[in-house]
Amino acid sequence: MARHALSAGGPVWCLHELVHNGAVVDELREMGMRFVESLDDVPEGETVLFSAHGVPPRARAQAAARRLKVIDATCPFVARAHRQVREFAARGVPVAVVGDAGHVEVVGLVGEYNGLKDLEVVGDAADVAALPFPSDGPVGVVCQTTLSSTKVHGVLSALRARYPRLVETPTAETCNATRDRQTAVRAFVQAGDPAATGVLVIGSANSANTARLVEIAAEAGARAVRVGGVADLAGIDLSGIDRLGITAGASTPESVVGDVRAALTAR
């Protein structure tokens, strides 16, 4: 969507990074994309792209007020979570948003509840005890798409124990791209000797799902390292590793993965 918008001619602004991957952002910037953190920085009447992480309703209202031409590149899994929060709000059901409070995806989800008090961000299972919602009433739950599936399951277990009427939908889990990678990493490490196993995760430092993959590999006992691309391989010590697995954050371009594979094969 971003490439198509740029190929149509004329300037295009993107609110926040399109995805949390430096290679993608650099490519789009070279093509002419202008990245901003506020819609105030987009000239009135121009074209703005909403990133994959979604935006709160106030951003859409501000864009309309400034007569901006909006291209919505929100990830379908994130958009589904937004719809679910709106549905809970319409029914008056309090909502627990499982995620990192400062992450742009969570900021967008929180904004859907229009500042009402009946929405809380839950960072981990320990936070469930502090929720102010009545335990005998319904409570809805949605999840940041890029969390560790193990962490999410722990929070959901705590929520179920405290709220017997917990309303769970498909939005109460990580997205397929995140979950499948995490499952594959665990299976790979457990299939051999973790002490002689390495996992190379390709992705940017600010990518939440990339960070989760590194954590999961390390928790399973493997030597886990994140690299942004081929340029980072020179400083990686692979001594003592008999099995090396590579995986990537969901926003890492396939071309970057291919380049890393080729470099490792040659090495």
Question: In the listed set 167, 186, 221, which residue is the last one of a domain according to the structure?
Answer: 167
Q: CB-based burial of residue 238 (10 Å sphere; 0-12 exposed, 13-18 middle, 19+ buried)?
A: middle
pLDDT digits (tens, 9 = 90+) for 133-191: 999 999 999 999 999 999 999 999 999 999 999 999 999 999 999 999 999 999 999 99
Quick one: 128 and 159 in the same domain? yes
Q: Looking at the predicted structure, is the pLDDT value of residue 246 above 80?
A: yes
Quick one: 67 and 136 in the same domain? no
Quick one: 64 and 43 in the same domain? yes
Strands 12-15 and 33-36: parallel
Catalytic residue among 37, 46, 87, 105: 105
Dihedral of the CA atoms 185, 190, 194, 199 (nearest 10)? -10
Quick one: 138 and 185 in the same domain? no
pLDDT digits (tens, 9 = 90+) for 235-244: 899 999 999 9
Quick one: 230 and 180 in the same domain? yes
What is the C-alpha to C-alpha distance for residues 7 and 47, in angstroms, rounded to an integer?
Answer: 13
CB neighbour list of residue 132: distance below 8 Å, 6 or more residues apart: 117, 120
pLDDT recorded at residue 113: 81
What is the C-alpha to C-alpha distance for residues 124 and 122, in angstroms, rounded to an integer?
Answer: 6
Quick one: 188 and 260 in the same domain? yes
Q: Domain of 187?
A: 176-266
Quick one: 139 and 160 in the same domain? yes
Q: Looking at the predicted structure, is the pLDDT value of residue 117 above 70?
A: no
Quick one: 155 and 84 in the same domain? yes
What is the C-alpha to C-alpha distance for residues 158 and 164, in angstroms, rounded to an integer?
Answer: 10
Strand positions, DSSP E, 12-115: 12-15, 33-36, 47-50, 69-72, 95-98
Give how far Cα 39 sits from Cα of 12, 21, 43, 71, 99, Å.
12, 21, 8, 13, 25
The answer to whether 66 and 41 have CB atoms below 8 angstroms apart is no
Instruction: Categorize the per-residue pLDDT at 253 as very low, low, confident or very high, splitting at 50, 70 and 90.
Output: very high
**Total domains present in the chain:** 3
CATH of residue 245:
3.40.1010.20
Instruction: Categorize the per-residue pLDDT at 115 as very low, low, confident or very high, splitting at 50, 70 and 90.
Output: low
Quick one: 45 and 82 in the same domain? no
CATH of residue 58:
3.40.50.11270
Question: In the listed set 54, 73, 92, which residue is the last one of a domain according to the structure?
Answer: 73
Question: In the listed set 135, 167, 199, which residue is the last one of a domain according to the structure?
Answer: 167
Q: Looking at the predicted structure, is the pLDDT value of residue 198 above 80?
A: yes
Q: Looking at the predicted structure, is the pLDDT value of residue 116 above 90?
A: no
Give how far Cα 198 sits from Cα of 36, 239, 243, Å.
37, 10, 6
Quick one: 40 and 83 in the same domain? no
Give how far Cα 237 sits from Cα of 144, 224, 225, 226, 232, Å.
33, 11, 10, 12, 11
Quick one: 67 and 83 in the same domain? no
What is the crossing angle of helices 104-111 and 57-65, to 10°?
Answer: 80
Q: What is the pTM of this model?
A: 0.90
Q: Has 254 been annotated as catalytic?
A: no
Quick one: 16 and 38 in the same domain? yes
